[in-house]
Amino acid sequence: MIRPPTSLVGLVVGVVLLGGCGVPPPPPRTTAPAAPSAPMTSPSPVRPEHPAVARIAGRFRLTQGGFGPLAIAVGFGSVWVALAADPPYSPASRGTLLRLSRDLSRVEARIQVGWVPAVLAVTSNAIWVADTAGDGSQPRALHDEVERVDPALDQVVARVYIDGLADLVPADGAAWAVGERPRGGGASLSRIDEGTNSVRVVVASPGAVSDLARVGPELWAATAGDAAAVRGSILRLDASTGAAGVPIALDHEVTRLLVAGDRVLAMGPSGTTASADVLPIDPANGVVGRLLSGVESLVGSAFHVGIERIWVGSQQGLVPVRLPDLIPDAAPLTIIDQPGAGILAIAGDSTGLWVLTSLGVVRVTVSGGP
């Protein structure tokens, strides 16, 4: 799941030399150098003048057994939470899609879905549920279905099979699915039409797809880095037609794409679990900026990108990270009130955030919006 972690702005440091008499003027400044000679370091954690003020506004406790909560989404006036089925597993095992009120005060519907509903996607008239192969410990015949839920009926109205289903992203009247091929055979990207539920395999990737993201009119698929060359690439597709764009070659492994505003942050391992390496990319021209090395503020288990901040779910709590400089602008908000629990995913809109934990859902409001 990938899910889920669905953005950002990189830092560019330059030196501008002012021309004098008889000195040629400097060349035009570019957004981001394509071939940096050395990585930048993480910015100093200086708190801004007006930090985010977040507070907990409600909780919903889960009592589901088994694997418990897997995914969360916001749409159609409700909060949707996917729960795995209880063991032992069989072809008859079913997971649950909970429809909750936005204030988390009541359950509006319980819908039976696949037994590992690891990813949720919201399109204009449906909630899409990806029943993935989980950790691979169970037969694939019990998985790999994308289920379409009609929010007006609160029931599954269609099922689509995707071989090796691993991820799902909404885009332009469709749900895009990643299918993993067995034994390191790469991956496929398929477009599920929202109007007809028909499936079209658009492209095959020779490498595994580590993350999928909607970037403006395009769909970006990050392929995992090569273990020997430590390289990766980003496949670019037109989200409406599936037409292939010019891929972006990278000299760094990418495991997550975060999209916000006019930048994409391609995140990858830094060699330590206490930080991440970030490559800022301009989606308008595909120019890759200088590597931002050792960013401690973007280490977490879940991410949600708002207008002004990235919200990071970490062991310390919910951390607001300011854009574009990637500096935490407030102390972490404690979300977990019991030991042994963790933050699994974050969903949000202009009114607030909903944080999925292993214990349930926490509603968070933010002054001025997230």
pLDDT tens string 252-307: 889 999 998 789 999 998 888 889 999 999 999 999 999 999 999 999 999 999 98
Q: Is residue 151 part of a domain?
A: yes
Map tokens 């790469």 to a residue: 186
Q: How far apart are CA 136 and CA 48, in angstroms?
A: 45
Distance of CA 254 to the CA centre of its chain: 13
The answer to whether 4 and 210 are in contact (CB under 8 A) is: no
Q: Is residue 179 part of a domain?
A: yes
- pTM recorded for the entire structure: 0.83
SS3 at position 298: helix
**What pLDDT is stored for residue 227 in this prediction?**
52
Map tokens 């931002």 to a residue: 292
Q: How far apart are CA 91 and CA 195, in angstroms?
A: 29
Q: Give me 260's structure tokens.
A: 């916000």
- Reported as half-sphere exposure (CB side, CA atoms, 13 A), residue 147 has a value of 27
Pairing of strands 327-328, 317-322: antiparallel
Q: Is residue 218 part of a domain?
A: yes
Q: Is residue 35 part of a domain?
A: no
Q: How far apart are CA 58 and CA 62, in angstroms?
A: 13
**What pLDDT is stored for residue 338 in this prediction?**
82
Q: Is residue 20 part of a domain?
A: no
**What pLDDT is stored for residue 37 in this prediction?**
35
Buried b (16+ CB within 10 A) or exposed e, 272-288: eeebbbbbbbbbeebeb
Q: How far apart are CA 10 and CA 74, in angstroms?
A: 27
Map tokens 């349930």 to a residue: 360
Running DSSP on this structure, what letter comes out for residue 112?
E
Phi, psi dihedrals of residue 217, rounded to the nearest 5° = -80, 0
Residue 202's domain spans which residues? 52-366
**Residues facing 280 on adjacent strands:** 265
The answer to whether 148 and 174 are in contact (CB under 8 A) is: no
**What pLDDT is stored for residue 140 in this prediction?**
52
Domain at 283, CATH number: 2.130.10.10
**What pLDDT is stored for residue 113 in this prediction?**
94
Q: Is residue 292 part of a domain?
A: yes
Q: How far apart are CA 225 and CA 231, in angstroms?
A: 5
Long-range CB pairs of 157-163 (<8 Å, 24+ gap) are 158/197, 160/192, 160/197, 160/199, 161/199, 162/190, 162/199, 163/188
Q: Give me 347's structure tokens.
A: 């969903």
The answer to whether 16 and 267 are in contact (CB under 8 A) is: no
What strands, in cross-sheet order, belong to the sheet with 327-328? 302-305, 309-314, 317-322, 327-328
Q: Is residue 15 part of a domain?
A: no
Q: What are the helix and strand counts (H, E) for the chain? A: 0, 30
The total of structural domains in the chain comes to 1
What tens-digit pLDDT sequence spans the chain (370 residues)? 444 443 333 322 232 223 333 434 434 433 333 334 344 444 444 445 567 789 999 999 997 544 689 999 999 999 999 999 887 777 678 899 999 999 999 999 999 999 889 999 999 999 999 998 544 555 555 578 999 999 999 999 999 999 889 999 998 889 999 998 776 678 899 999 999 999 999 988 878 899 999 999 999 999 865 555 446 899 999 998 899 999 999 888 899 999 987 899 999 988 888 899 999 999 999 999 999 999 999 999 999 999 889 999 998 899 999 999 999 989 999 998 788 789 999 999 999 999 999 999 999 999 877 8
Q: Is residue 61 part of a domain?
A: yes
**What pLDDT is stored for residue 355 in this prediction?**
98
**What pLDDT is stored for residue 133 in this prediction?**
57
Q: 196 Cβ partners below 8 Å, 6+ apart?
A: none
The answer to whether 300 and 314 are in contact (CB under 8 A) is: yes
Q: How far apart are CA 180 and CA 188, in angstroms?
A: 7
